[in-house]
Amino acid sequence: MPRPILRLALPSPLRRLFDYLPPAGVPDAGLRPGVRLRVPFGRREIIGILVEVVSRSEVPEAKLKPALELLDARSPLPSPLFKLCLWTAQYYQHSLGDTFSWALPVLLRQGDPAEARQERFWHAANGARPEDPRLSRAPRQRDALKTISQHPHGVAHSLLSQLQLSKDSLDLLLQKGLLRVETRRRHQAQRHQGSWLLQPELPLNQQQRAAFEAIRAGLDGFQTYLLAGVTGSGKTEVYLQLIHQVLEAGKQALVLIPEINLGPQTLARFEKRFNARIALLHSSVNDRERLDAWIAARDGEADIIIGTRSALFTPMKNPGLIILDEEHDASYKQQEGLRYHARDLAVVRARQENIPILLGSATPSLESLHNAHSGRYGLLKLTERAGGAQPPRFLRLDIKSRPLDSGISGPLHQAMAQTLAAGQQVLVFLNRRGFAPSLLCHDCGWIGQCPRCDARMTLHQRHNELRCHHCGHAERPPHSCPDCAKLDLRPVGAGTERAEERLITLFPDYPVLRIDRDSTSRKGSMAHLLTTINRGEPCLLVGTQMLAKGHHFPRVTLVAILDADGGLFSADFRASERMAQLIVQVAGRAGRAEEPGKVIIQTHLADHPLLVQLTEQGYFAFAEQALSERRAAGLPPFSHLALLRAEATKPGQAEDFLDEACSQAEQLMEQLGLTGIELLGPVPAPMERRAGRFRAQLLLQANARGPLHNLMNAWLPQVETLPGSRSVRWSLDVDPIDL
């Protein structure tokens, strides 16, 4: 009998598997796909995941090395998760080993046990009493028994020293039969007996009920639903009531949210509603907690799993429903390494697990709307705010040839003054941090450029620094112009710091609160700002897109968008979609039943058709218009893209590499008879130099996914062998969201 050959996925960027012989003494039956093995790799030992067992290798038998150790008695990954990883690696054209590295908890990749941690607990034996005559001359044992008796659930072994209990005394008590030891799961989350609900559910309004009933009727199979509900329309209430149904059916729910929404409020809302075991997975959870939560979910010991992008890869024993909130949010797309889109993968996963998935947003992505139009997704709409609040009114304020004072026009200034005088709050939105986006010499035109990027540096006045927002480079601003030595250096344009400073002088009687990454980086500072805002006194909030998400500001009745033009001018075809989403999301923060909100948008393009649609007809009319423009231009979702990016330290190197890759692709298309694919480029990246590297890109655009993937399947292994592939940093982005 020839020995079986193990094909392993190793943490390597190479898109291939690696062959090994079984470790000594391990029976073949233990070698199931998914188990981890420690193997020699060059001079190192690394951990790989078994993908398949075959009978023959292309490597000569004499060169095959045996694996060193089998780490698992059973596969730590349930089969659906294993399949999802295979699908992901294939679709995103990524190394399978590296895909596992992104998808699995770090400690699992490092070889930690993949089973729940067990711990010994010391209990008083039935009927054991400290007054027992056998303890009359053993005061330490008597005290120890007394202490242990006070803990009805037992004392964890790891807490003995903290409670000043000596192991020797406990062993003696154990021998006397006065103690017993139990081994059980550590930190097991508990739920109380009885109802899943800790608070009553709100009676749903008609639209909520229609959405709820539609999804409830389909809870036992795969279907994708798009819940398009304006901000405050009660989407979360619909989620909660569906989750309740899932829990009643003995199943688990996976809830994905954008990083920024994971405030304590989100979790609090779930904890207030449910008597359930909730596992939380986001970026500030440590490795140990992440693995514990992952195992708990896999073993059915967590009822609700809430997390950000990567929580998509959490295994579930009894999956019942996936909810993905704010489905348009760009943070669902990973922009490094494995460039997956959690929304798209979540739909794939739901199909594989045969469960429904609910995508929610007030401003759905054009992709999802297109899928809803074509009948692939069920569309459910909530058009009214649950509390009965009025939708905000929009006003386009043409600022052509109007003087701006730190970004603020005269009419806007007046509107702000009126709002404050009426005892209400104002929200000023500006998507630029810092004081000014550039520093300019008024005499010679010198501009503060980042030495490492093709980008201007932002002036941060508070810290007296010029900072590059692309690579993090920072330096002191010069006192005089580095080119002409004159002293007339002026900040150009306005960021949040400058708007804040100006508002303080314009409205000295009102507090001005700035909310952006700089002002909220200290722990607790955001909570402090929110407390002030929620007190409800008139004030001005100024901030970036952090203001657009997650919070409700009921006392805000005026929202000012200082500059909407970036989204209308940009070369990126998605810029207008993003701008519209941002405007609607910011606007949605404002106003309550008694006080409808007003949104003033400053723009030089007051007649731009997309902006007119958005402000007069609403987001869905905008989306129709934007979709028809995309269709006419053959852009996604009416075509499919993949982007090969490269960067190198020398100019021209990245383009040379992409040129060769491009010729390979052209040859393959001819050989394989593939049509309907266009190769665009290579061209320099929109910002050619970044962090000292020269960047270029090659875009593939296809009418259909099939041929595009056939091409990539054959092409990527060839690209890997190009001589340039070692000196150039390169990556492939399937369905890129920024070009």
Residue of 6, 362, 450, 466 interacting with Zn ion (CB under 5 A): 450
Question: Which residue blocks in 324-438 are alpha helix, DSSP H?
Answer: 342-353, 366-373, 410-421
Distance CA 233, CA 206 (A): 11
The 3-state DSSP composition of the chain as helix, strand, coil percent (nearest 5) reads: 35, 25, 40
Nearest to 409 by CA among 207, 278, 600, 643: 600
Which CB, 79 or 480, lies closer to Zn ion? Answer: 480
User: What's the residue count for the chain?
Assistant: 739
Whole-number minimum distance, CB 484 to Zn ion, in Å? 3
The reply on whether position 392 binds ligand ADP by CB under 6 A is no
Tell whether residue 551 is a contact of ligand ADP (CB under 6 A).
no
| CB 361 within 8 Å of CB 261 | no
Q: Tell me if 441 is assigned to a ligand binding site.
A: yes
Residue with Cβ nearer Zn ion (204 or 471): 471
Number of chain residues interacting with ligand ADP (CB under 6 A) = 15
User: Do the Cβ atoms of 427 and 547 come closer than 8 Å?
Assistant: yes
550 binds ligand ADP (CB under 6 A): no
Question: What, of Zn ion, ligand ADP, none, does residue 232 touch, CB below 5 to 8 Å by kind?
Answer: ligand ADP
Residue 483 is a binding residue for Zn ion (CB under 5 A): yes
d(CA 643, CA 564): 28
Q: Is 662 annotated as a binding residue?
A: no
Consult the annotation and say whether 450 binds a ligand: yes
CB of 479 to Zn ion, least distance (A): 12
Q: Is 589 in the site for ligand ADP (CB under 6 A)?
A: no
CA distances from 438 to 94, 458, 470, 499 (A): 39, 5, 14, 15
Distance CA(361)–CA(377), nearest Å, equals 14
When CB distances are held under 5 to 8 angstroms depending on the partner's kind, the choice from Zn ion, ligand ADP, none that residue 326 binds is none
Binding pattern for the stretch 642-671 against Zn ion, x by CB under 5 A and - elsewhere: ------------------------------
Nearer Cβ to ligand ADP (295/582): 582
Judged by CB under 6 A, which of 169, 223, 236, 310 binds ligand ADP?
Answer: 236
Strand ranges (E), 80-178: 118-124, 155-156
Q: Considering the rule CB under 5 A, would residue 481 count as an interface residue with Zn ion?
A: yes
Q: Which is nearer to ligand ADP, 244 or 396 (CB)?
A: 244
Q: Is 387 in the site for ligand ADP (CB under 6 A)?
A: yes
Distance in Å, CB of 446 to Zn ion, minimum: 4
Strand order in the sheet with 155-156: 155-156, 118-124, 179-185
End-to-end CA distance of the chain: 54
User: Contact between 444 and Zn ion (CB under 5 A)?
Assistant: yes
- Selection from Zn ion, ligand ADP, none that 487 binds (CB < 5 to 8 A by kind) is none
Residue placing its CB nearer to Zn ion in the complex, 467 or 502: 467
Q: Among 130-138, 206-214, 462-470, 623-631, which window interacts with Zn ion (CB under 5 A)?
A: 462-470
539 among annotated binding-site residues: no
Contact criterion met (CB below 8 Å) for 382 and 233: yes
Residue nearest to ligand ADP (CB): 234
**Phi and psi at residue 302, in whole multiples of 5°?**
-125, 135
Q: In 537-560, which positions are buried (b, 16+ CB within 10 angstroms) versus exposed (e)?
A: ebbbbbbbbbbbbbbbbbbbbbbb
Instruction: Choose the stretch contacting ligand ADP; rule: CB under 6 A; options: 41-49, 197-205, 328-336, 470-478.
Output: 197-205
Q: Does 594 bind Zn ion (CB under 5 A)?
A: no
Ramachandran assignment for 683, one of left (phi > 0), alpha (psi -120 to 50 degrees), beta (any other):
beta
CA gap 30, 356 in Å, rounded: 34
Residue with smaller CB distance to Zn ion, 453 or 459: 453
With CB under 5 A as the contact rule, the residue among 41, 196, 222, 446 that binds Zn ion is 446
Residue 466 and residue 440 in contact, taking contact as beta carbons nearer than 8 Å: no
Residue 85 is labelled as binding a ligand? no
Yes or no: say if 547 and 541 are a contact pair by the CB < 8 Å rule: yes
CA–CA distance, 326 with 586 (Å, rounded to integer): 14
Footprint of ligand ADP on 43-72 (CB under 6 A) = none
For Zn ion, the binding residue among 198, 249, 484, 527 (CB under 5 A) is 484
What residue 612 binds from Zn ion, ligand ADP, none (CB within 5 to 8 A, per partner kind)? none
Binding mask 202-231 for ligand ADP (x = CB under 6 A): xxxx--x--------------------x-x
> Which one of Zn ion, ligand ADP, none interacts with residue 237, CB within 5 to 8 A by kind?
ligand ADP
CA 517 vs CA 174, 391, 472, 579: distances in Å: 57, 29, 14, 19
Positions of E strands within 554-676: 556-561, 598-603, 640-648
Three-class SS state of 665: helix
* CA 254/CA 236 separation, integer angstroms: 14
CB of 388 to ligand ADP, least distance (A): 9
Q: Of the candidates 34, 48, 232, 319, which one interacts with ligand ADP according to CB under 6 A?
A: 232
Q: Write b or e for each residue in 13-22: b if 16 or more Cβ atoms lie within 10 A of its Cβ, otherwise e.
A: eebebbbbbb
Interface segment toward Zn ion; rule CB under 5 A; list 218-226, 348-356, 445-453, 490-498: 445-453
Closest to Zn ion by CB, 379 vs 471, is 471
Residue from 132, 143, 299, 443 touching Zn ion (CB under 5 A): that is 443
Which residue, chain included where needed, has tokens 């003054």? Answer: 417
Binding-site size, Zn ion (CB under 5 A): 14
Considering only the C-alpha atoms of the chain, give the largest distance between any 2 of them, rounded to a whole number of Å: 98
235 binds, among Zn ion, ligand ADP, none (CB under 5 to 8 A by kind): ligand ADP
> Could you say whether residue 687 binds Zn ion (CB under 5 A)?
no
Of 97 and 597, CB closest to ligand ADP: 597
CB of 334 to Zn ion, least distance (A): 22
Burial class (CB in 10 A: 0-12, 13-18, 19+), 450: buried
- In the complex, the smallest distance separating the C-beta of residue 500 from Zn ion, rounded to whole angstroms, is 24
Minimum Å gap between C-beta 224 and ligand ADP is: 19
Under DSSP, the state recorded for 274 is B
Smallest separation, CB 373 to ligand ADP (Å): 22
**CB-count exposure of residue 195 (10 Å: 0-12, 13-18, 19+):** exposed
Q: Does 268 bind ligand ADP (CB under 6 A)?
A: no
Q: Rule CB under 6 A: which of 367-386 touch ligand ADP? A: 386
Residue 12 binding ligand ADP, by CB under 6 A: no
444 annotated to a ligand binding site: yes
Q: Which of 85, 100, 169, 237 binds ligand ADP (CB under 6 A)?
A: 237
CB of 368 closer than 8 Å to CB of 327 = yes
> Rounded to whole angstroms, what are the CA distances from 649 to 699, 722, 727?
21, 18, 9
Cα–Cα distance, 71 to 64 (Å, whole number) = 20
Q: Does 233 bind ligand ADP (CB under 6 A)?
A: yes
481 is in an annotated binding site: yes
Is 554 among the residues that bind ligand ADP (CB under 6 A)? Answer: no
- Taking the C-alpha atoms of residue 205 and residue 673, their distance in angstroms, rounded to an integer, is 56
Residues of this chain that bind Zn ion (CB under 5 A): 441, 443-444, 446, 450, 452-453, 468, 470-471, 473, 481, 483-484
Residues of this chain that bind ligand ADP (CB under 6 A): 202-205, 208, 229, 231-237, 386-387
Q: Which residues are annotated as a binding site for Zn(2+)?
A: 441, 444, 450, 453, 468, 471, 481, 484
